[in-house]
Structure 1
Amino acid sequence: MNFRTILILGALSAFGPLAIDFYLPGFPAMAKAFGTDEQHIQLTLAAYFLGLSIGQLAYGPIADRFGRRVPLLSGVALFTLASLACAFAPNLEALIVARFVQALGGCAGMVLSRAIVSDKCDAVGSAKVFSQLMLVMGLAPILAPMLGGLLVNTWGWQWIFGLLTLFSALCGAAVFLGLPESMPAHHPRQPLSGALGQYVRLFKDPMFLGNALTGGIAMAGMFAYVAGSPFVFIKLYGVPAEHYGWLFGSNAAGFILVAQVNARLLAKRGPVFLLTRAVWVYLAAALCLLAVSAMHPAQLWPLLIPLFICIASLGCIIPNASACAMNGQGARAGSASALLGCLQFSVAAGSASLVGALYDGSAIPMALVISGCGVLAVVLSQVTQWVRRTRLAH
């Protein structure tokens, strides 16, 4: 796969995280503009999450029926128009609706980029490309809040959505001019009426489900970190709010670095080998994090070391789990990608809620959820590989 295609797919993959992280600094200004509080502004985030979950499941069967290019262009166009509607929303209700529609368009890039990679690459090649796409996925949480805060302070929160409109329009032009149809002509076009059956068959495939959930459970650990780290860093250990981004960014940098190392290691070791080893690293670091949290250290740095290793290891786990799940899906790659994203997102979003439910004024809830994710990821990985070995033996 050439650099131009990877660059376009990376931009499309960034739609989801960018539309989340980019506008977070605008919450106070948006609350003031609409005469409400930040809790009500968070409904716009909930609407976006809902749209991502529903939209991913819809795009899969559509992509398997009509190919990748037309649904992708339609989704990018929808995201562009919805972003413009967000910028000119007259009230909070209109903004919530526009954010929901924006997510329906944005998840096209997330689903179809994975399907396009699966169309063009084998398991090893897919893992390499997914690792390279992690570079964009990792950069978004670092750069987006900083740029979003600058736009809010300089021109107002509406410019965040204005820039998203411009970004998505440029992506649409790049897809139209530089991304041809990737679905092989000989692949049978799956009828939309069989969409439910496709999902049922994927649920019955232990290799797909096991790898998808391994990646999803590991990703859930990242969501637990995202949900719990502001309290742990800022409130519990007194890190200034303006310095939080540097700590968050350093962990994201570890994630990016390991993803790029993973891409190089795949030349010698396949994604299965790397995945089964990386989940153990994640578990060991997570258990160390839990043990340190239970000691209630007076300083933050003892927590930062195992936490950094946990987040960094995801740069190996997530791309390899995705590649293993998508391997061999062929004509149903769109549906497989949609279900993969929906499963991973749903499981991961639940972990963030669990951190809040377990809140006790310490770092233990965050560490406990991350550790639980580590245990489940190892168990799922081992069971999946046992199924794989059993199939190969027969």
Structure 2
Amino acid sequence: MTHTRAAAAQPAAKPSFIALLIAASAVSPLGINMYLPSMPAMARAFRVDFATIQLTLSLYLAAMAIGQLIIGSLSDRFGRRPMLLIGLFIFVIGSFVCLTAQNIGLLILGRVVQAIGGCAGITLSRAIVRDLYGRNQVASMIGYVTMGMAVAPMIAPTIGGVLETLYGWRASFMFLMLFGGLVLLVASWQLHETNHNRSAGGSPRHLIRSYLSLFGSRLFWGYTLAASFVSAVFFAFVAGAPYVMIELMGRSPAEYGFYFAIVPSGYILGNFASGRFAGRLGPNRMILAGTLVTLASVAGMAVPFAMGSLHPAALFAPMFFIGLGNGLVLPSGIAGAVSVKPEVAGAAAGLSGSIQIGFGALVAPVVGATLGATVWPLITIMAVCALFALASFGLVADWRRASRASKL
């Protein structure tokens, strides 16, 4: 209760501060998406198959999942500012290792280091928003932050494709190192501490109890799993689309990058809608609408391929609406998860983010292992994830029904 009042009493953040949160949140999405057009070329450069180069994505996502779990809880104890600065510094080091890697082992190591550092921006931006705003405003503000953050994955493959075409695959990691260093410098100058209740997270035993209480919350799981499965639809696409576009359709990395810009455009629109309407309609309606849009869009993707079309538009046009669905679901799902227990918002942000990214880490290698001569393994995996997202939302609906019944 004390923490909730403190959060509500915080003054509204300045636009420049929100811009910093957007930039910090963009570091990890850039790390995920910028090098995607270069994956086939990297496989040839290191003389490995595509499934092996997929490890640079799946292990990045796995390291993000573990990193968020640690960084979120540590920020409850030590503060958001120091943990964010440390994370950004680690990201810069990891980018340098990738830039100079001479074998696939060092490249994978660099990607893991990148991920552990970069995940601080995503996790702590959510916790900082929860520190600054009351429960009713969190979904809207996270929607605005992630709307701006979505510019990163929109432009990253385009930049990465052009850089790879002009200078080779290492140029993307040079860009990431410079961008991470710039955000680190600005954050060290502008970022102030927002967690003024750090004494609550003063011991490892308390952190363990916090995680156990979150694990025991059906409402937390409902919000987290719905967001995670919807996100997994996107990560499945990210894992498989370069292979489908470049190897099966015979298109160039730069063309893939330009088509990919369609996907975050839908995500931006969904986040804008969340920012405008989540406070008025409530997070549950936003999650349900976004989940249904995602499921319908996956079905829409299957139709042209079933009719024999092998054109990029058949792949990317439905992904616009899947991006829209992600933009509707994720801000409200995240806001719901971090608001279940506001006194451990950092731990909740880390745990929910860890699960969300962990699902992506599980889905990516499955897609890489099953893709062959057709696109159907990718579409099937995306459809299964969308169905599980809808089923997970049932946990939230069941909790609401049980809560109403207990009040009668």
- TM bin (shorter chain): 0.7 to 0.9
CA distance in 2, matches of 1:152, 1:305: 25
| Residue equivalent to 1:110 | 122
Tell whether 2:29 aligns with 1:17.
yes
Partner of 2:223: 211
Indicate conservation of the 8 Å contact 1:80/1:165, yes or no: yes
Return the letter of the residue paired with 2:193. Answer: E
Q: Specify the SS of the correspondent of 1:268.
A: helix
Match of 2:358 in 1: 346
1:121-140 correspondence runs (5 A): 121-140=133-152
Find the aligned partners of 1:96 and 1:362 in 2 and give their Cα distance.
28
- Residues 188-218 of structure 1: per-residue CA shift (max 9 Å, x gap): 2341233333222211111111101100000
Task: In structure 2, list runs of 5 or more residues that go unmatched.
Answer: 1-12
| Per-residue Cα deviation, 1:140-198 (whole angstroms, up to 9, x for no partner) | 23322332344445555444333323222221222222121111348623412333332
Q: Secondary structure at the match of 2:193?
A: coil
SS at match of 1:188: helix
Letter in 2 for 1:2: K
Look up the SS of the partner of 1:14 in the other structure: helix
Q: Compare 117-126 and 180-189 and name the one that shifted more.
A: 180-189
Task: Judge conservation of contact 1:65–1:190 (CA < 8 Å) in 2.
Answer: yes
Equivalent residue for 2:388? 376
Q: Could you tell which deviates more after superposition, 214-223 or 160-169?
A: 160-169
Q: Hey, what does 1:283 align to over in structure 2?
A: 295
* Separation (CA, whole Å) in 2 of partners of 1:79 and 1:393: 48
Q: Is the 8 A contact 1:290 1:371 kept in 2?
A: no
Q: Structure 1's 226 and 388: CA in aligned 2 closer, same or farther, altered over 3 A?
A: same
Report the CA distance between 1:128 and its aligned residue.
1.9
Aligned match of 1:73:
85
Match of 1:268 among 272, 280, 287: 280
Tell me if structure 2 keeps the 8 A contact 1:120–1:182. Answer: yes
TM-score (norm 2): 0.85
What's the secondary structure of 1:144's corresponding residue?
helix
Taking structure 1 as reference, are residues 172 and 235 closer, same or farther at Cα in structure 2, changes over 3 Å only?
closer
**Conserved 8 A contact 1:294-1:364:** no
Q: C-alpha root-mean-square deviation of aligned residues, in Å?
A: 2.9
Aligned counterpart for 1:51 among listed residues 63, 67, 74: 63
State the Cα distance separating 1:341 from its structure 2 match: 1.0
Separation in 1, partners of 2:98, 2:91 = 10
Deviation at 1:68, TM superposition (A): 1.1
Question: Closer, same or farther in 2 for the Cα pair 1:364/1:113, shift >3 Å?
Answer: same
Of the structure 1 ranges 13-22 and 78-87, higher mean CA displacement relative to structure 2 is found in 78-87
Cα deviation per residue 1:73-117 (whole Å; 9 max; x = unaligned)? 111122223323433445544443333222221111121111111
CA distance in 2 between partners of 1:67 and 1:339 (Å): 17
Superposed displacement of residue 387, structure 1: 0.3
Would you say how many aligned residue pairs link Structure 1 and Structure 2?
393
Whole-Å Cα distance in 2 between the matches of residues 308 and 37 of structure 1? Answer: 32
Q: How does 1:1-394 map to 2 (within 5 A)?
A: 1-27=13-39, 36-37=47-48, 39=50, 41-89=53-101, 91-155=103-167, 157-185=169-197, 188-234=200-246, 236=248, 241-290=253-302, 293-297=305-309, 305-359=317-371, 361-394=373-406
Counterpart residue type for residue 339 of structure 1: L
Change (3 A) 1:231 1:116: same
Between the aligned residues of both structures, percent identity stands at 34
Unaligned ranges ≥5, structure 1: none
Aligned equivalents of 1:316, 1:185: Cα separation in 2? 31
Q: 1:83 to 1:357 in 2, by over 3 A?
A: closer
In structure 2, how many angstroms separate the alpha carbons of the residues matched to 1:239 and 1:159? 21
CA deviations over 1:304-327 (Å, ceiling 9, x no partner): 554432232211111111111111
Question: Contact 1:218–1:373 at 8 Å: present in 2 too?
Answer: yes
1:213 aligns to what SS in structure 2? helix
Which amino acid counterpart does residue 319 of structure 1 have in structure 2?
P
> Matched residues in 2 for 1:240 and 1:26: separation?
10
Most deviating of 117-126 and 85-94: 85-94
* Change in CA separation of 1:279 and 1:27 when aligned onto 2, cut-off 3 Å: closer
What amino acid does structure 2 have at the position aligned with 1:188?
A
Moved more, 78-87 or 319-328: 78-87
The CA deviation string for residues 260-293 of structure 1, in whole angstroms up to 9 with x for no partner, is 1221123532222222222222223333434554
Q: 83-92 vs 336-345, which deviates more? A: 83-92
Change (3 A) 1:26 1:104: same
Q: Is the 8 A contact 1:276 1:382 kept in 2?
A: no
One-letter amino acid of the structure 2 residue matched with residue 198 of structure 1: S
Q: Is the 8 A contact 2:36 2:242 kept in 1?
A: no
Tell me how far 1:28 sits from its aligned partner: 6.3
**In structure 2, how many angstroms separate the alpha carbons of the residues matched to 1:30 and 1:304?**
24
Q: Which amino acid aligns with 2:235?
A: F
State the distance in 1 between where 2:272 and 2:138 align: 13
